[in-house]
Amino acid sequence: MNKPNQNGKYEPVSSYVIRTEKYYSYEVMEEDIKLLASIYPFVTVNVIGKSVLGKSLYELRIGKGERRVHINGSFHANEWLTSSISMQFVNDYASAVKNGQKIGGIDSMLFFEQLTLSIVPMVNPDGVELVLNGAPASHKQSIEEMNKENYEYSWWKANINGVDLNNQFPAKWEVEKERKYAKEPSPRDYPGKEPLSEPESKALAELAKKEKFDMILALHSQGKEIYWGYEGYEPAIAKEIVQEMEKVSGYKGIQYIDSHAGFRDWFIQEFQKPGYTIEVGEGVNPLPLSSFQENYQDTKNIIVSCLKGFIDKVVII
């Protein structure tokens, strides 16, 4: 089931199968998901909903633990590097579990036994496709109008309806709507007509409610910062865990930012559990492929230290 490498040879199972050397489109991700699931039968694949254009919103699950931790990538279209980063993490983690190895210096079986990880690597597949491949025929006219006749989509963050999915959640959504510059569908910053009006944001909210996650990590870019508080709803352990994440990455933890209606804001408000936004890397979005390895290593270290910190502080072994 494995793929031949550039020399026509098949890689051993423990090697990377994720194709992070290329632009990470929805199709590439979908093939990688199938491949991972075939190599690692303990990686289960669910579809938690469909995008506006009918693409599957995939969730991968690994682990047997009672505590549930959720990670997602590409809420924002031009931050698609976070999809390949989350897929690479699944690859590394699954490989470590299969081969009885450590990940980021920690025994992978500790995570596997204590946690169930839920990963949605691409929350906004229509938006990612727009940034990578241009406007789809079905929405060409409206997209070009929203983009002010600009045919370059590298600064597009929204979904294909021009709604910013990370401005859609019922955590002071009205405040955000009032003050946002975008009052109609736009490439970025438009919160929609009402909270959770879009199928992608709705699917994530339903997943979080159903699964009752104990912690979430949302991968965004860029800035090398970690946001960890919302309006005082964050639990005390959120600060202790972020200090571990800062240590391994050099990223800066920030308790409060002047922003509402994000997935993480809502999660912390709704469940009073730790939630983090990781602003991966530095530069202009979309971050270049050449930055992948460095950004992946930092993110992997952040995720591992976060999971370890969570187990140390929350799980009674």
Stretch that binds Zn ion, among 220-228, 244-252, 265-273, 300-308 (CB under 5 A): 220-228
Amino acid (1-letter code) at residue 34: K
Q: Residue 72 forms beta bridges with which residues?
A: 120, 218
Q: Tell me whether strands 102-103 and 106-107 are parallel, antiparallel or unpaired.
A: antiparallel
| Alpha-helix runs per DSSP H in the chain | 26-39, 81-98, 108-114, 125-133, 140-146, 173-179, 199-211, 237-249, 263-271, 292-314
Shortest separation between residue 125's beta carbon and Zn ion, angstroms: 15
Site string for Zn ion, 158-197 (x = CB under 5 A): ----------------------------------------
55 forms part of the interface with Zn ion (CB under 5 A): no
Instruction: Between 116 and 124, name the residue whose CB sits nearer to Zn ion.
Output: 124
Instruction: Between 94 and 123, name the residue whose CB sits nearer to Zn ion.
Output: 123
Per-position b or e across 28-67, b if 16+ CB within 10 A of its CB: bbeebbebbbebbeebeeeebbebbbebbbbbbbbbebeb
Task: Compute the distance between CA of residue 21 and CA of residue 256 in angstroms, rounded to an integer.
Answer: 35
Asked if 279 is an active-site residue, the reply is yes
Shortest separation between residue 216's beta carbon and Zn ion, angstroms: 14
Instruction: Between 76 and 308, name the residue whose CB sits nearer to Zn ion.
Output: 76
Instruction: Between 26 and 112, name the residue whose CB sits nearer to Zn ion.
Output: 26
Structure tokens at 291: 């930055």
Task: Compute the distance between CA of residue 55 and CA of residue 8 in angstroms, rounded to an integer.
Answer: 32
Task: Compute the distance between CA of residue 151 and CA of residue 146 in angstroms, rounded to an integer.
Answer: 11
DSSP 8-class letter at 10: B
264 forms part of the interface with Zn ion (CB under 5 A): no
Residue nearest to Zn ion (CB): 220
Shortest separation between residue 285's beta carbon and Zn ion, angstroms: 8
Per-position b or e across 144-155, b if 16+ CB within 10 A of its CB: eebbeeeeebee
Shortest separation between residue 187's beta carbon and Zn ion, angstroms: 13
Task: Compute the distance between CA of residue 140 and CA of residue 16 in angstroms, rounded to an integer.
Answer: 36
220 forms part of the interface with Zn ion (CB under 5 A): yes
Stretch that binds Zn ion, among 24-32, 42-50, 86-94, 215-223 (CB under 5 A): 215-223
Enumerate residues 57-116 that contact Zn ion by CB under 5 A. Answer: 76, 79
Number of residues binding to Zn ion, judged by CB under 5 A: 3
Instruction: Between 65 and 281, name the residue whose CB sits nearer to Zn ion.
Output: 281
Shortest separation between residue 74's beta carbon and Zn ion, angstroms: 9
Query: Residue 257: how many CB atoms within 10 A of its CB?
Result: 13
Shortest separation between residue 262's beta carbon and Zn ion, angstroms: 9
- H or E stretch covering 46: strand 44-50
Shortest separation between residue 157's beta carbon and Zn ion, angstroms: 6
Instruction: Between 74 and 88, name the residue whose CB sits nearer to Zn ion.
Output: 74
Catalytic pick among 27, 66, 279, 282: 279
Phi, psi torsion values for 258, nearest 5 degrees: -80, 75
Do the Cβ atoms of 215 and 237 come closer than 8 Å?
no
Instruction: Between 26 and 80, name the residue whose CB sits nearer to Zn ion.
Output: 80
Residues at the contact surface with Zn ion, assessed by CB under 5 A: 76, 79, 220
| Residues assigned a catalytic role | 279
